[in-house]
Structure 1
């Protein structure tokens, strides 16, 4: 999943040399596993019920952070939080779950990496931020990767629709990230994540009830849905903001590079999904473009 937008951070401190790489690797492994869990559970729950469980469980884990800062989240903020919850959580989570029904886990993870580039693109198009030559080249390379990915097949079936859904979700992350950064400045970041998840869960609830499966759901899918909400959403968000507070947002965002690698590895080891040549080529373009966009100017 995409790295959440940063609202407020404290000055980074110097940690023990092994702690930061360990936590970055752990977070990459957790978010990489989220695409595998969606792949397992989406076929039995359907996208909307699965997203509702993910949002509700993630919000429950983060609720203590919101409770501590509840005085900062008055009713005037609720419409803004609801809109951001829809754009930055509910709809992207649905699109990734929908894609997971139709394509290997690696497809969603690879397209998810485009969120970093889309954040820069949205800032350029709507907020007048300078994009620069390097990021423009990175965006072009990323789009080439998406086109390559969409042209591929898995087990004989086209994955174009799944790639398009994942790319749209990444674009929405780009919009949501910019909205959070500009409209919720000064609020505690983890509490913002909790509040937007709550509103997203409330918005999704009627649709989840209307589409709840009529057949019994296997225990494995329940376990995957629980892990998706508790581990990959609630605990992962808390871990990500812990990293931001210690090492800063720029360094913490390097986890973006690890997520597709872990996603493909988990899906190969535990689900038997292969890494196709198309996925390899597209992943190289997209991850390379993200790395290029994140490089500091000399």
Structure 2
């Protein structure tokens, strides 16, 4: 049952890149994400019905605000911006670099030593990114290069948020963290959403995309994610990172007719190999030395 839930979660989060690409052009990145997190906060609203949850919210609002900014508002907007210029499949693959940045943040900020496997993983992750974007760099396509950099900043933000949460939100119920991050993100993004609200009529397709983002890809996905953590453990739940690119590329190809070339497949495999090494899922150098 856990395996089925893991695949379903990967399929849902993989679809988020599809929906962002469908909605970002019409809404604009900031209004789209403001709606996404606002809808998600409404879906998760039952989380704060308990008095204990409201008490924790009052006592931890500052770190929850920071997590909301770095784990939702900023990275979601950067991903939405990137989908204006690069395809959904590429975004979903680059999302897999999050654990690489997490390891780097731990090294720089928390002074956690890196193993040789982790260093190799980071190098391979960077090589995978270069493989994916080599054509854009060679052709001098500045907007696409900037979009890729935006995604890498977004995944760096995810990496920071993960470590910050572990240091400052110890003992706080994960569902409350999920709701608070969406709620504070919505508050922060509201002024920008009103300022950049589209002056033209938004299509029904774009509206359905943003509703799917908020309800399914954020609200319900968080519920499923925390259910997996409770039943199978955090390490198992986080392995969803390796499955998301598969679905992100598949949904993009199926619904947006995005091409899947050898360059995409190669870059994806190299990034996933680097991620496996950086997160300790694979120990290559140690095994070679033991032979």
TM-score using structure 1 length: 0.89
More helix by share: 2
Q: Which runs of 5+ in 2 are unaligned?
A: none
Q: Who is 1:295 aligned against? A: 281
- Per-residue deviation at 1:74? 4.4
SS of equivalent to 1:73: helix
- Per-residue deviation at 1:171? 0.3
Picking from 77, 87, 99, the partner of 1:94 is: 77
- Structure 2 residue 163 is the aligned partner of structure 1 residue 178: yes
Q: Who is 1:164 aligned against? A: 149
* Aligned-partner Cα distance in 1 for 2:256–2:263: 19
Rate the CA distance shift 1:254–1:261 in 2: closer, same or farther, 3 A.
same
- Per-residue deviation at 1:121? 1.2
- Structure 2 residue 142 is the aligned partner of structure 1 residue 139: no
- Structure 2 residue 29 is the aligned partner of structure 1 residue 44: no
| Structure 1 vs Structure 2 CA RMSD | 1.7
Q: Who is 2:6 aligned against? A: 24
Q: Is the 8 A contact 1:99 1:165 kept in 2?
A: yes
Q: Who is 2:41 aligned against? A: 59
Q: Who is 1:5 aligned against? A: none
* Aligned-partner Cα distance in 2 for 1:70–1:231: 23
- Aligned 1:76-155 pairs, distance under 5 A: 76-153=59-136
Q: Which runs of 5+ in 1 are unaligned?
A: 1-18
* Aligned-partner Cα distance in 2 for 1:66–1:124: 35
Picking from 180, 183, 186, the partner of 1:195 is: 180
TM-score using structure 2 length: 0.91
SS of equivalent to 1:253: helix
